[in-house]
Amino acid sequence: MNLETLILAAGKGTRMKSKLPKVLHKVCGKPMLQYVIEAAKRTGSKREVVVIGSGAELVEKTFSGVVEFAVQEEQLGTGHAVLSAKKNFAESKGTLLILCGDTPLLTSKLLKDFTAAHEKSNCAATVLTADMPDATGYGRVLHENNGTFKKIVEEKDANDEQKKIREVNSGVYCFDVQKLFAALEKVGNNNAQGEYYLPDVLPILKAEGNKVGVFKAEYCIETIGINTRSQLAAADKAIRMRKEQALMEAGITIIDPNTTFIEDTVKIGQDTIIRPNTYIEGNTVIGEDCEIGPNVRLTDMKVGNKVKVQFSYCHEAEILDGVTLGPYVHIRPGTTIGQNVKIGNFVEIKNSNIGEGSKLPHLQYIGDTDVGSNVNVGCGTVTCNYDGKKKYRTTIGDNAFIGCNTNLVAPVKVEDGAYIAAGSTITKDVPKDNLAVARSRQVNIAVWDDKRK
């Protein structure tokens, strides 16, 4: 099959009430247009052209190098949008699949079945339809007495009897590409909207002696277009449930799918357990045998095997095998947590490397720091990395011991095996195996003027 795809994505999406083009609104972590492009590619499309108009620069920037573009200068209807891409297909032959950029629930299985049926039928055009429980807003599909396709009536042009029809036009079509553009030149705009409707091509093709077919989707939800924020939320939930079902079938335990939010781009290894109220986003990759959650958010993270994370937020960082992390931990960008590290409650780590087997039990801020292996960092330790103008790094060697309530004022280096006494503020390098004490002597005064009395 010689299959090419045209995706209509020029509309303003006024009901979204957004400064962002409608097709760039995200569904389960990806712009809705991306789902449509990916579905077309998986169907076997050799080339995808996207018609852009409202917010054209943003759409083009987002998908530059992925698809080709055609510009619809004025939004004068779906037929006009397709005609805007005529030059893109001047040399094309075969089947043109037309999709809408706001239908992220389309599956490649449905599109493969649809395009195969079109090819087999020898029709000049085939319309994808669906039976909608509530057909409000959709064009209704009319049939001849013998059951063949007659025409599509837009809701604003439909009479009361036609509005009772539940079979609707999904906005997805297959066309013989050359016959389509020849017929488009004959489409008028004598309708309630004064627009050039793509469905009006179908009666023209029929009148010229061509066959027009209908293919009905088994599941109407796959054809739904997104026009409002509430529909966006419904689509997000549907794709999220698809994703979580696929993960569970692949050997991942999700304790409560209804309170777990895993974006479509996430990858998770076998026998990992995802507990409730967990958000896993972006290009996060999680290994095998992990326990994630409850109340965890991971964004663009790389997580190894046998990692345990609870009540924590981690983003743009890496956690290696065997780490235990949480509760109440914030791992910030540029951080790598080494194997078998233990990080306890109320710890923040930024742009740092924590060596294998080290322990940060509680109440630490570690920023711009390189921590060696088997280091114990005491409660209340802070690496003071910012002097008001510049940020500096701290280095802590292997097997060092950092006492409670220590301030390490960067740039400073604590060498292997060094020991920092509790309550110290360290401003100079500490040599290997040395004990550093940087605090005032304690003085006890027996007789003093206690103003509280």
Helix or strand run (H / E) with residue 56: helix 56-62
Whole-angstrom distance, CA of residue 383 vs CA of residue 14: 50
| Burial (CB count within 10 angstroms: exposed 0-12, middle 13-18, buried 19+), residue 368 | middle
321 in Cβ contact with 303 (< 8 Å): no
CA distance 314 to 400: 26
Give the other-Cβ count within 10 Å of 54's Cβ: 17
Nearest to 430 by CA among 399, 404, 405: 399
Burial 106-142 (b: 16+ CB within 10 A, else e): bbeebbebbbebbbebebbbbbbbbebeebeebbbbe
CB-based burial of residue 23 (10 Å sphere; 0-12 exposed, 13-18 middle, 19+ buried)?
buried
Residue 9 pairs in a beta bridge with 52
Catalytic residue among 25, 80, 118, 362: 362
330 annotated active-site: no
Structure tokens at 4: 């090419």
Amino acid letter, residue 104: P
Residues paired with residue 419 on neighbouring β-strands, in sequence order: 401, 435
Q: Which two tokens stand for residue 348?
A: 């923040």
Catalytic residue IDs: 362
